[in-house]
Structure 1
Amino acid sequence: MPNGAETRARIESYLLARIPFVTVRTVERSRALDMLGELARIKQLDILVHTLSQGLRDLRTRQPVTDDRSLLGALDLAGEWFQSRSNLTIVFTDVQHLSEDNDISRRFSDLATLAEEHGGSMVVITSDPVWTPLQRMGMAVSLDLPDMDEMRAEIESFLRPYSSDIPIEWGSAEYDQAASILAGVTKIEALNILATLVVKRSVTKDDLPGLSRAKDAIFNELAGLERVTLRDGDHRVGGLAGLRQWLDRKRPLLTMDLRDRGMRPPRGILLVGVPGCGKSLSAKAIAADWQLPLYRLDMASVFGHYVGQSEGRLRDALATADTVAPCVLWIDEIEKGLAGSGSDSTGITTRLVGQFLYWLQESRARVFVVATANDTRSLPPELLRSGRFDDMFFVDLPDQEERREIIGIYLGKYLRVPVAREVVDELVVLSEGFAGSDLQSAVAEIGYEAIRVGDDAVPVDYYYSAFRNVVPLLRSAPERVEEVRQLRDRAIPASGKARPSTDRTVGARRVVLG
């Protein structure tokens, strides 16, 4: 995508070449006008601009040239001036319905013809398409949102005047991270966010996570994704030490500038394994630990009844994720949305798979994807190819040490009194074969009893009975657990502990290095 400097150079060349009709596609009208105003001053160009609020005015002097503020009045004057003044450029900023064949579009077409005959130019700043016959009379250029380099320059330019009045603790790394976070918003939105830091009379390193929250507030009404609200302390994960070590190494890379090495930011992980062992909880924990907004994409809800509707919904959702980046995108049970590629008669699933894979491979937005699946065998093989996700982790039933950690987390959360070590030791033994969700359910039952009779009044036998009453998946459906465990050799163990393979023909499983 062209950055601001490239767009400015193209606009300059079009105006100097007297292209009769120029479209500037952008959502940043004020930024486009700033560029045109700079060109008017430096190149001494005769440029008038029309807005509905101020009418026609000279872009260099900002002085009004007529009392009539209407668009029709400006079009009439433009026709007269093109015939009487040479090398005149008129910029229009508030034009609606220019994408259709109507009276306004045809009047612009007539004016473009008149401008061509007299060496004039018209510029339309819009975010909408333009009627094809009109657009073919000139040239179009896109002014995209500021890239990281431009955003950093804007941030430094904004904060520099305050450096003598308030403490600004940011160094080069913090400016880079701030630019990375604010990429995807307009210049005005970025400066508004920075203004909230200035008014508190200091800019510290601790303010960086607040930039993500402020940016998220701008986009929290965008369609296509479900915003997941996270509460402090609700997303601690026990066990999964290997996964956590891997994530600790990847976190700084998500907001680093990696362009000089030609590398993209971390793309994400695919979590597979036994149901109830913390795959979905891990997505929430990652967003909470990294202090990033969490969005959930429900692949099943993407499907629509009409031709092209499903593809459009997925495209909008992924575009929204790119816009709100940096963020964590959680895709729960991805196999339900992308399974059976090529099996549906309409080919919808195949097209969705292709669209998702293209985005996963090509998008450079700082979106960290956490996809979960209970069975990868139903997923299209191309999704598992190297280069899609950064890695695939297998989440198994917790071992004794991991169960102790998980039980401790939930006892501390649900109870107000400490639990004796020997009691915890017995709970660890009783919970052999439990998934993380089973452990939570058992400790929650103890918590309910503590609320009813008081924490100190819960007998030890109740602790044990709460655990004995749980029937884990390993006992109720052992064949399902063993079926899922057949995938272990295809993924990195999330626990960080290699298990001996039951198949002598299979190589040693990869282990995440600490």
Structure 2
Amino acid sequence: MTFREELLILLKARYPIIYIVTIEEDRLEHNIRKILSNKTPKKIYIWDFIDGYRKNPILEGFAKRNPLGALEFIELINSKTPSIFILKDFKIFLKDILISRKLRNLIQLLKIQPKTIILVDSQIQIPSDLRDNITVLLFPLPTSREIKEEIKRLTKKLELRGRLPPRVLEKIIQACQGLSLQRIRRVLGKSLAISKRIDQTSIALILEEKRQIINQTELLEFWSVKEKLKNIGGAYNLKKWLKNRADTFSEQALNYGLITPKGVLLIGMQGSGKSLIAKAVAYEWRLPLLRLDVGRLFGGLVGESESRVRQMIIIAESLAPCVLWVDEIDKAFSESEQNLDGGTTNRVLSTFITWLSEKTCPVFVIATANDIHCLPVEILRKGRFDEIFFLGIPDLRERHTIFEVHLKRFRPDTWYKFDIQKLGLNSHRFSGAEIEQTIIDAMYYAFSEKREFTTNDILLAINQTVPILDIDPMRTELIQSWTSSGRIRLA
């Protein structure tokens, strides 16, 4: 049900007090007037603490700095005219016994008179004695259609030359989703100030604006990424799976009837490239990457952890479409932790996995885990993620690719001089991170002797490295049994 439909139903059903959560007061006011324009005529009164009642020549400034007076006015206004009273900045006064009592007294009057109170605020704070009388309604951020209309209005108003290609326009709209209309106008104005146009280059500015929002939350991190899937050695099945879903967040996919993918769980040894893949997916799909350190969700106060999970979900969904990278999920939700914190971990886990199953917003979740033994069975159940992939130790062909990728990065002009075949044969059971480190160690050897590093230097580093698989060979037994049974796919 849309916001418009839900608001009209609540007004028609004579709900006395509606609490609308939004940071966009002006846009909400515009939408309420637009929604009611073709319906039964209603008088709209707007009050805030500083200016009192405004936009009414007779009552301009009435009840300034007087929230009790604002409620008394509702009681005195002509009851024959259907009226809506939009009260801003009111959450702080709800704890006052005078305001709370006055509201409860007013409710009896509103039941028989065509009046509705709408409280507007950015956060929900309702005292327990009023919760049964107030209905909460979330005012969503601008839709893709609203963003498209705003971009067209702006380009027409400024008489910008040239027409945005449909593909570029769609990418800009996609990047703007999750921003308020005011922020969209500001960031597009910034783009015009810099380059005197709105085009592909505007997307970077929009993503930077989103970074500012994320940095204020202290729950999520906004990551800038430049990694590419083609520069990741191995994981051919996973990369093919991701490639087939690269355009599923587009408008064409929506029109086709495609359901946006939920996400993947990546399991593997340290250094197998799980984090790198999360970054590469965000880069390849041109989506913002949000990193969640699950440890940040847990607070010291009762109920604080569950509140942080809900806040994280709201932030992620408001910035959709996006990639949510949940790093080392096994450490936060390990079964041993669930028995030591009075049930907090269980409640946080329950809220999180319910969202994974039920979410409809285009948030692609990439969760990574090192130890499958620590993961609760609830996370592994089908329906939480689209697929579970195991990133194992690279085979010979994959090791060749990994050596080539890193040597091209460190020595783009002379990488072909290294004996990649020999390096691949001698690095059996090495992970991708361990292969990279052998090259770095070789560079240190050669630099200390003031010469260029060679294949022999890398071979020396390989011989001095003990792969983690040799240190902890039992770690992969359960994963191997699950992959052979088909419960987990090999990446």
Residue type matched to 1:188 in 2? Q
> What residue is the counterpart of 1:504 in the other structure?
none
> What residue is the counterpart of 2:100 in the other structure?
105
C-alpha displacement at 1:192, in angstroms? Answer: 2.8
C-alpha displacement at 1:400, in angstroms? Answer: 2.0
> What residue is the counterpart of 1:497 in the other structure?
none
What pairs up with 1:78-227 in 2 under 5 angstroms? 78=73, 81-82=76-77, 87=82, 89-110=84-105, 121-127=116-122, 128-131=124-127, 140=135, 142-146=137-141, 148=143, 150-152=145-147, 154-159=149-154, 161-162=156-157, 164-171=159-166, 174-199=168-193, 200-205=195-200, 207-208=202-203, 210-227=205-222
Partner SS state of residue 252, structure 1: coil
The CA distance in 2 between the partners of 1:396 and 1:322, in whole Å, is 32
The 1:159/1:4 distance shift into structure 2, 3 A limit, reads farther
The CA distance in 1 between the partners of 2:51 and 2:69, in whole Å, is 11
In structure 2, runs of 5+ residues without a counterpart are: none
Residue type matched to 1:217 in 2? Q
Contact kept, 8 Å, 1:268 with 1:369, in 2: the verdict is: yes
Contact kept, 8 Å, 1:8 with 1:35, in 2: the verdict is: no
Residue type matched to 1:185 in 2? L
What pairs up with 1:432-447 in 2 under 5 angstroms? 432-447=428-443
Residue of 51, 55, 72 corresponding to 2:52:
55
Partner SS state of residue 215, structure 1: helix
The CA distance in 2 between the partners of 1:156 and 1:402, in whole Å, is 46
Residue type matched to 2:4 in 1? A
C-alpha displacement at 1:130, in angstroms? Answer: 4.2
The 1:422/1:226 distance shift into structure 2, 3 A limit, reads closer
Residue type matched to 1:9 in 2? L
The CA distance in 2 between the partners of 1:187 and 1:307, in whole Å, is 35
Task: State which structure, 1 or 2, has the greater radius of gyration over its C-alpha atoms.
Answer: 1
Contact kept, 8 Å, 2:419 with 2:455, in 1: the verdict is: yes
C-alpha displacement at 1:386, in angstroms? Answer: 2.5
Residue of 370, 374, 377 corresponding to 1:374:
370
The 1:188/1:289 distance shift into structure 2, 3 A limit, reads same
The answer to which of 386-395 and 411-420 deviates more is 411-420
> What residue is the counterpart of 1:469 in the other structure?
464
The CA distance in 2 between the partners of 1:356 and 1:92, in whole Å, is 34
TM-score when normalising by structure 2? 0.82
The CA distance in 2 between the partners of 1:12 and 1:427, in whole Å, is 72
Contact kept, 8 Å, 1:274 with 1:396, in 2: the verdict is: yes
**Total equivalences in the alignment:** 485
What pairs up with 1:448-459 in 2 under 5 angstroms? 448-454=444-450, 457-458=452-453
C-alpha displacement at 1:361, in angstroms? Answer: 0.7
C-alpha displacement at 1:121, in angstroms? Answer: 4.8
The 1:98/1:11 distance shift into structure 2, 3 A limit, reads farther
The answer to which of 422-431 and 299-308 deviates more is 299-308
Contact kept, 8 Å, 2:418 with 2:455, in 1: the verdict is: no
> What residue is the counterpart of 2:317 in the other structure?
322
Q: List per-residue Cα deviations over 1:380-413 (Å, max 9, x = no partner).
A: 3332232221112221221222212211222233
Residue type matched to 2:2 in 1? N
Partner SS state of residue 339, structure 2: coil
Contact kept, 8 Å, 2:187 with 2:205, in 1: the verdict is: no
Contact kept, 8 Å, 1:396 with 1:485, in 2: the verdict is: no
C-alpha displacement at 1:251, in angstroms? Answer: 1.8
Contact kept, 8 Å, 2:247 with 2:253, in 1: the verdict is: no
> What residue is the counterpart of 2:353 in the other structure?
357
Contact kept, 8 Å, 1:112 with 1:122, in 2: the verdict is: no
The 1:307/1:114 distance shift into structure 2, 3 A limit, reads closer
Contact kept, 8 Å, 1:50 with 1:74, in 2: the verdict is: no
The CA distance in 2 between the partners of 1:279 and 1:56, in whole Å, is 56
C-alpha displacement at 1:358, in angstroms? Answer: 0.6
The CA distance in 1 between the partners of 2:132 and 2:338, in whole Å, is 43
The CA distance in 2 between the partners of 1:257 and 1:234, in whole Å, is 23
Residue type matched to 2:244 in 1? R
The CA distance in 1 between the partners of 2:253 and 2:226, in whole Å, is 32
The 1:103/1:373 distance shift into structure 2, 3 A limit, reads same
C-alpha displacement at 1:222, in angstroms? Answer: 1.0
Partner SS state of residue 372, structure 1: strand
Residue of 390, 393, 398 corresponding to 1:397:
393
The CA distance in 2 between the partners of 1:70 and 1:112, in whole Å, is 23
Residue type matched to 1:357 in 2? I
The CA distance in 1 between the partners of 2:80 and 2:61, in whole Å, is 16
The answer to which of 315-324 and 464-473 deviates more is 315-324
Q: List per-residue Cα deviations over 1:425-477 (Å, max 9, x = no partner).
A: 322222222211211111001222454455x5446533332222222234444
The CA distance in 2 between the partners of 1:94 and 1:458, in whole Å, is 66
Residue type matched to 2:8 in 1? A
The 1:467/1:92 distance shift into structure 2, 3 A limit, reads same
C-alpha displacement at 1:202, in angstroms? Answer: 2.6
In structure 1, runs of 5+ residues without a counterpart are: 495-514
The CA distance in 1 between the partners of 2:198 and 2:423, in whole Å, is 49
Partner SS state of residue 267, structure 2: strand
1:282 aligns to 2:277 (yes or no): yes
> What residue is the counterpart of 2:403 in the other structure?
407
The CA distance in 2 between the partners of 1:470 and 1:31, in whole Å, is 61
Contact kept, 8 Å, 2:483 with 2:489, in 1: the verdict is: yes
Contact kept, 8 Å, 1:167 with 1:203, in 2: the verdict is: no
The 1:377/1:163 distance shift into structure 2, 3 A limit, reads same
The CA distance in 1 between the partners of 2:115 and 2:379, in whole Å, is 53
Q: List per-residue Cα deviations over 1:178-202 (Å, max 9, x = no partner).
A: 4444333323223333333444333
Contact kept, 8 Å, 2:4 with 2:35, in 1: the verdict is: no
Contact kept, 8 Å, 1:302 with 1:310, in 2: the verdict is: yes
Partner SS state of residue 328, structure 1: strand
The CA distance in 2 between the partners of 1:392 and 1:241, in whole Å, is 14
The CA distance in 1 between the partners of 2:471 and 2:22, in whole Å, is 58
1:5 aligns to 2:4 (yes or no): yes
The CA distance in 1 between the partners of 2:438 and 2:184, in whole Å, is 47
The CA distance in 2 between the partners of 1:398 and 1:417, in whole Å, is 26
